[in-house]
Chains A and B, each alone.
Chain A
């Protein structure tokens, strides 16, 4: 019977932590389906807020902006990140270690500071602000994640595989397509999901770099709350949570199976 109490306590603790994490989200999601605008019980199921959301031009425009920028960020950051990872994996060059070490600080530096720095920089070089700078900023933020994730995958990649392909007469392009990419695919997919999440959930940097009229969803929600709370926010938040959680699940799936194959 020894060891049973610690186990029970541990499970209770875990339960508390999960409750702490998910209860607010659950309440928010629940209230998005409640007819009352003031978090009041009794619960009256309704889709009013989703209907209201569908009619809210600003929120809808911001959602499309967010999706568009997240999608573009994913494509650009994944492409650049995959190429950078391959280069870092294949070649020994001067300053490689410095470059690799420099990949991590942007992940650790507070976004507020990164955002401020980017804003100053983009003004300095004459790019100004707008969705284009939001996109550049997001790509820069997502790139280290992509490179780290793909590089981890590449560590398991034996250089003999590419040598074998060469000895069989394959061109570099054929090798990339048939040998290298299939091997790192799980890493690429996971990196892409990270990039999407980093961009789609991004508030601070978007807030700094976007113009008030044309902005992303998190920034739009923030502005909307400042003007006065409406349950439409619950509805749109529920949608975002669904998308984000779905992505996280996908990511973890690819990570797990990526390791075994």
Chain B
């Protein structure tokens, strides 16, 4: 097992700063998601770790040893491509055994390890099929098997599930997690899908415009995002803006919103994030309950029923807020009805407001 570390890595393409001074650690056996919108530099970072590209600055360490100049074919990585990139002229066994063939292992050894790997991804019996004779999910497994058959030090996955339809994707998430645990390999995967990042990984790094915005365990980032960007990109969040006032934010109309911690931000402008599922919806006539709660009056704009839950869009002094309520139970509020939203201060996370304009100098990736 190998620990990966990147230190101050930058990669520029002309005037474009695809990656700007990114440092991150990937502990042994960890499963890390690099999450970000397109153009955030996540794929550039993966290709740098793989060795397809060389950083302009910074170091990439495998177990403390610098590997920036080691070419991809000798770096000992296994990579799964978004398109799978299966060799169309080779059958499943030929694809999975390709890396072993390239290492000039004896035929019997190749056969043994191919069988073993196919067993791991539960594709035994399909050895002689060609890629075009396989379903999307099977192709994905072959691509994964091919990458792990060489017993790489690090497994890199580029948008591993994006080519699959939704039902299959859920299956494969479980499978991918199981396989990663079984071989215990340090895995780094790139995705723009926050749900995928949350379910698969035990660490998440959020990238934006070539910078690492936030890093940590999924629960940590989801529960306590430090930036508005992370709060809204990983999961859904209501953002309330106002002036910092100690452990609270004063909204434009003077309402004070209590926070879990001190307000953050450059200058007096501050923001906080509240997850929609933390917000409770009560009738406008109901009395204030005991205990410290943030309360905002509003009017239901619309509500969307999605089976297990309902989302209410409520117009308040802080703008339109979303509340996610378990469906069933009490009769739902109708559109146009006056309601009160309340939620505890512990669920009100102070976040660094999105500057937006501050990064305007950075040209966006296509």
A101 lies within 8 A of chain B by Cβ: no
Q: Which of B52, B72, B85, B99 contacts A158 (CB 8 A)?
A: B85
Q: DSSP majority for the B interface?
A: mixed
Asked, given contacts A178-B87, A178-B90, whether A168 binds B81 with beta carbons under 8 Å apart, the answer is: no
8 A Cβ contacts from B38-84 to A: 50, 52, 71-74, 77-79, 81, 83
Interface centre among B72, B89, B101, B150 (most CB of A within 10 A): B89
CB 8 Å contact bits of B134-177 with A (1 = contact, 0 = none)? 00000000000011001000000000000000000000000000
B31 lies within 8 A of chain A by Cβ: no
| Closest beta carbon of chain A to B301's beta carbon, Å | 46
8 A Cβ contacts from A129-185 to B: 158, 160-161, 163-171, 174, 178-179, 182-183
Asked, given contacts A170-B102, A178-B90, A179-B87, whether A164 binds B81 with beta carbons under 8 Å apart, the answer is: yes
What count of chain B residues pass the 8 Å CB interface test?
24
Assembly CA distance A168 to B149 (angstroms): 9
Q: Which of B52, B73, B74, B87 contacts A161 (CB 8 A)?
A: B87
Report whether A178 and B85 are in contact in the complex, using a CB–CB cutoff of 8 Å: no
Q: Which of B52, B77, B101 contacts A178 (CB 8 A)?
A: B101
Assembly CA distance A75 to B79 (angstroms): 37
What count of chain A residues pass the 8 Å CB interface test?
18
Closest to B90 in A: A178
Asked, given contacts A174-B102, A178-B98, A178-B101, whether A167 binds B89 with beta carbons under 8 Å apart, the answer is: no
Assembly CA distance A17 to B78 (angstroms): 59
B291 lies within 8 A of chain A by Cβ: no
Closest to B75 in A: A167
B112 lies within 8 A of chain A by Cβ: no
Closest to A179 in B: B87
B88 lies within 8 A of chain A by Cβ: yes
Assembly CA distance A261 to B88 (angstroms): 8
| Closest beta carbon of chain A to B69's beta carbon, Å | 15
Q: Which of A164, A171, A178 contacts B79 (CB 8 A)?
A: A164
Which residues from chain A contact B50 at a C-beta distance below 8 Å?
167
| Closest beta carbon of chain A to B63's beta carbon, Å | 19
Which residues from chain B contact A164 at a C-beta distance below 8 Å?
79, 81, 85, 87, 146
Other contacts beyond A166-B71, A170-B99, A174-B101: 15, CB < 8 A: A160-B83, A160-B85, A161-B87, A163-B52, A164-B87, A167-B147, A168-B98, A168-B102, A168-B146, A168-B147, A169-B74, A169-B102, A169-B103, A179-B89, A182-B87
What are 10 A-B contacts with C-beta separation under 8 Å? A160-B85, A161-B87, A164-B87, A165-B87, A165-B102, A167-B50, A167-B73, A168-B73, A168-B146, A170-B102
**B residues engaging A (CB < 8 A)?**
50, 52, 71-74, 77-79, 81, 83, 85, 87-90, 98-99, 101-103, 146-147, 150
